[in-house]
Structure 1
Amino acid sequence: METVKNSGNKQITSIGQSIKDTIRNNIRQYAMLLALVAIMIFFQIATGGILLVPMNVANLILQNSYVFILAIGMTICILAGGNIDLSVGSVVAFIGAIAGTLIINMKYSIVPTIIICLLIGALIGIWQGFWIAYMRIPAFIVTLAGMLVFRGLTVTMLKGLTLSPFPEKFQQISAGFIPDVFGGFGTKLNITAIIVGLILAAIYLISEIKKRAERIKYNFDVLPLPIFIAQIVVVFAAIGIFTYWMAAYKGIPVILAIVGLLIIAYSFFTTKTVQGRYIYAMGGNEKAAKLSGIDTNKVLFFAYVNMAILAAFAGIAFTSRLNAASPQAGQNFELDAIASCFIGGASAYGGVGTVVGAIIGALVMGVLNNGMSILGVGSDMQMTVKGLVLLVAVAFDVISKKKSRS
């Protein structure tokens, strides 16, 4: 009897130790997730339940879609050595001006316009990437120059005026929803959104079981089964709640589907491909990466070309959302993207961070903006709060790293 009792105590101790190790190894990610949940609960109570109304959740996604896109690109730049791109806000405005000129003034159709805008974004990235990667001019200087140049070109192209309105089909890029092909089956819920949620939950379950089986096969450490099951349940609950929000309003926004595909693609690229690992290697130690045979110039060049293309796409999305091409568009967008990355766990020195973490950081900023706007907090105080959140997040990262080394 005593033996059974002791073995039970050992098992409980083992599980407790596993929980501690898991939290310690992923402390920044868990901290930001908990912070996001806490912020959402606070504003849900403070706004009298308005924050998490399905319509407001959908609007929150639509309003912050450009930040999600920019944060993905900025994550790659930061991973490649702690570099940032200060020009993305001006590139967003410049691409918006080009789209407005082509569609409204020159009567171009939407698809050719999008292709031209993305190609121009690539050219911008090639231009800046050349100076940064091959001439080794600091990224801060090159992109600061880009911020001024493209803002000036935007004002010149638009002659200080705002171009509007855009065709309805162009507006649907950031305001449209995927239609319910099942017609709701007599309910008020969007059945297509529910089915997509179920598919995502199934894919997550299969991938996690497969990943666990592979780790066991090669004798790697895995979470104890109770914790693994609890993790699955929590993720399922999150997917279920989010699916309900989407299904109860108008379904899945088109821009959310696009951003979701970007998150999956870039997460796979950074974690499962050789080129993605090169980015982490360069950010960790560029000299060591060079000695290992990695073409660090090419890696850095790719980071800024990729960033400019995503900035061009964000410009299309934002212009579609605004339904106007404005000389003032994109101001401080670079700061939102950078803050999202650092709040989401990216290291200011490079080599540490994830795409999903950057999205979590962007959600933190978006919920803060939305919640404070609902409460009627002024823009000056909103900036103050966001600045303090950024400082606390980075300070937490620095302090936790110091403790782990000691």
Structure 2
Amino acid sequence: MLKKASSGQKLFSAEKFDIRTYTMIAALILMWIGFTYLTSKGFTDMDGSFITSRNISNLVRQMAIVGIMGTGMVLVIVTGGIDLSVGSVMGFVGCIGAALQVWHGMSTTEVIFICLSLGALIGLLEGSLIAYTGVPAFIITLGGMLVFRGGVLGITHGTTVAPLQKSMVYFGQSYLSEVISPVIAVVAIVFLVGSEIVRRKTKEKYNNLNEPLNKMIVRCIVYSALVVATVAILNSYRGIPIPVLIMLVLVIIVTFIAEKTTFGRRVYAIGGNIDAAKYSGINVERNIAFVYALNGLLAAVAGLILAARLNAGTPEAGLNLELDAIAAAVIGGTSMTGGVGKVVGAILGALIMATIDNGMSMMNLDAYWQYIVKGLILGAAVWFDIKTKKGSSKVKVDTDSSNSNGITETNCIGKAKI
């Protein structure tokens, strides 16, 4: 009975994530069509419209920073926490890097090492305070946001710190050549198809395969077509932006950590039921601290890329970007109640956020409309999450009613974990 309940729960979670993912993809496609229509005089003048290769290249480069931050935010929210300081930490680390190069003449390698270490240490400190003191994550990270926002102003003295060395600027402004980009596309397709095959064989091994082969083949074809189309569009301008390549590499690494390692399974267990995780022998405090350390590390990467893109450290660096990171994670399917979320979903959420900013800017709309639309989309995403959870509860209740012992499956599962 317990085994069936667990399998059913997993199947339902997968279906829920797919529904949300497909909904977000459909919404993204509609946005792109709408913005293209509005910026091309009804599809009559495509020059300078939203769908041009130059604008798409700028769009994906713009979303890379929020995508990297959202990647770390997914794991934080999965544990049932939140990080309101990540934008300020990003700006603080980026300005530290700029100051080290401009005022102290440090090399790019030295700056990268120092800044990444600093970001991880900040995250570890905040995570340790949250895990070991019992102070809510909201309060700790809110305090951190104020502290590091003040740190940004203190480092820059309210002025722009520039220019950076060319080797640093490379990470924010350069592109892969048109020759290397197709190679990256082939590697990505091989990776995606290989992952699907490995996943299918694993399910066959454990007699858990419930998907026809043709469905997997169609999915692989769609993935491959998307990769080829994306690389072709980017190549028609200048190639794949370096920030986008960095983002994709980090997404693959963090996805592997979240889904294929013991640490990742413990993170989801903590978010799903922290008491059960403790009873099962998981060191909850240590794992939470490590999650925030990873989030701080990714914020540092984003901070360096932003500084490299601007070729400067600025007093406004990272301002309000913590909200975009949280929104990207939630829109991409991460539940605010913890235990549910996919790293890849944050990239989709970041792309939606960047599309709103880019499209409305091209339409010359006032900035306040961007905040209004983002808020509405975020609210809709949370509402969708709540509604699907209610649906899940109804399914469990209907199943429980057939239990002749009068003991609910939820309780049985809870006892089994304890």
2:30 — aligned with what? 38
Contact conserved, 1:216 with 1:222, CA < 8 A, in 2? no
Question: In 1, Cα distance between the equivalents of 2:139 and 2:204?
Answer: 49
1:58 pairs with 2:47: no
2:255 paired residue among 237, 242, 267? 267
Q: What's the offset of the Cα at 1:261?
A: 0.9
1:218 pairs with 2:216: no
Contact conserved, 2:79 with 2:268, CA < 8 A, in 1? yes
The TM-score with structure 2 as length reference comes to: 0.86
The residue matched to 1:335 in structure 2 has which SS? helix
2:363 paired residue among 359, 368, 375? 375
What is the one-letter code of the residue matched to 1:72? Answer: T
Q: What's the offset of the Cα at 1:23?
A: 5.2
Check 1:353–1:163 CA distance in 2 against 1; reply closer, same or farther (3 A cut).
same
Q: What's the offset of the Cα at 1:162?
A: 1.4
Question: In 2, Cα distance between the equivalents of 1:127 and 1:266?
Answer: 21
Q: Work out the number of aligned pairs and report it.
A: 376
Deviates more, 1:166-175 or 1:215-224: 215-224
Which deviations, in whole Å up to 9, do the C-alpha atoms of 1:203-228 show, x marking residues without a partner?
22232123223323432133223322
1:322 — aligned with what? 310
Question: In 1, Cα distance between the equivalents of 2:63 and 2:193?
Answer: 28
Question: In 1, Cα distance between the equivalents of 2:162 and 2:191?
Answer: 42
Question: In 1, Cα distance between the equivalents of 2:157 and 2:23?
Answer: 47
Contact conserved, 1:65 with 1:317, CA < 8 A, in 2? no
Structure 1 residues without counterparts, runs of 5 or longer: 1-19, 180-189
RMSD between aligned residues: 1.8
Which deviations, in whole Å up to 9, do the C-alpha atoms of 1:168-220 show, x marking residues without a partner?
221111111123xxxxxxxxxx2321222122212222321232233234321
What is the one-letter code of the residue matched to 1:314? Answer: A
Matches within 5 A, 1:233-252: 233-252=221-240
Structure 2 residues without counterparts, runs of 5 or longer: 1-11, 41-45, 395-418
1:387 pairs with 2:375: yes
Deviates more, 1:384-393 or 1:202-211: 202-211
Question: In 1, Cα distance between the equivalents of 2:13 and 2:136?
Answer: 39
Question: In 2, Cα distance between the equivalents of 1:153 and 1:22?
Answer: 42
1:195 pairs with 2:170: no
Contact conserved, 1:78 with 1:347, CA < 8 A, in 2? yes
1:171 pairs with 2:165: no
Contact conserved, 2:172 with 2:242, CA < 8 A, in 1? yes
Q: What's the offset of the Cα at 1:265?
A: 0.5
Question: In 2, Cα distance between the equivalents of 1:67 and 1:224?
Answer: 36
The residue matched to 1:26 in structure 2 has which SS? helix
Check 1:109–1:364 CA distance in 2 against 1; reply closer, same or farther (3 A cut).
same
Question: In 1, Cα distance between the equivalents of 2:243 and 2:372?
Answer: 29
Q: What's the offset of the Cα at 1:405?
A: 2.8
Question: In 2, Cα distance between the equivalents of 1:292 and 1:127?
Answer: 26
Question: In 2, Cα distance between the equivalents of 1:374 and 1:132?
Answer: 42
Which deviations, in whole Å up to 9, do the C-alpha atoms of 1:312-351 show, x marking residues without a partner?
1111111111122111211101000000010000001111
The TM-score with structure 1 as length reference comes to: 0.89
Which deviations, in whole Å up to 9, do the C-alpha atoms of 1:143-167 show, x marking residues without a partner?
1111111111221222222112222
Contact conserved, 2:127 with 2:293, CA < 8 A, in 1? yes
Check 1:404–1:287 CA distance in 2 against 1; reply closer, same or farther (3 A cut).
closer
Question: In 2, Cα distance between the equivalents of 1:221 and 1:21?
Answer: 16
Q: What's the offset of the Cα at 1:38?
A: 2.1
What is the one-letter code of the residue matched to 1:90? Answer: S
2:407 — aligned with what? none
Structure 1: 4+ residue segments shifted above 4 A: 20-25
1:28 — aligned with what? 20
Which deviations, in whole Å up to 9, do the C-alpha atoms of 1:273-298 show, x marking residues without a partner?
11100000000000000000000001
Deviates more, 1:337-346 or 1:62-71: 62-71
Contact conserved, 1:212 with 1:222, CA < 8 A, in 2? no
Deviates more, 1:373-382 or 1:35-44: 35-44
Q: What's the offset of the Cα at 1:130?
A: 2.0
1:296 pairs with 2:284: yes
Q: What's the offset of the Cα at 1:44?
A: 2.4
Matches within 5 A, 1:4-403: 26-48=18-40, 49=46, 50-81=49-80, 83-179=81-177, 190-403=178-391
Check 1:27–1:122 CA distance in 2 against 1; reply closer, same or farther (3 A cut).
same
Which deviations, in whole Å up to 9, do the C-alpha atoms of 1:217-259 show, x marking residues without a partner?
4321332233222222221221121121122122222222211
Contact conserved, 1:80 with 1:299, CA < 8 A, in 2? no
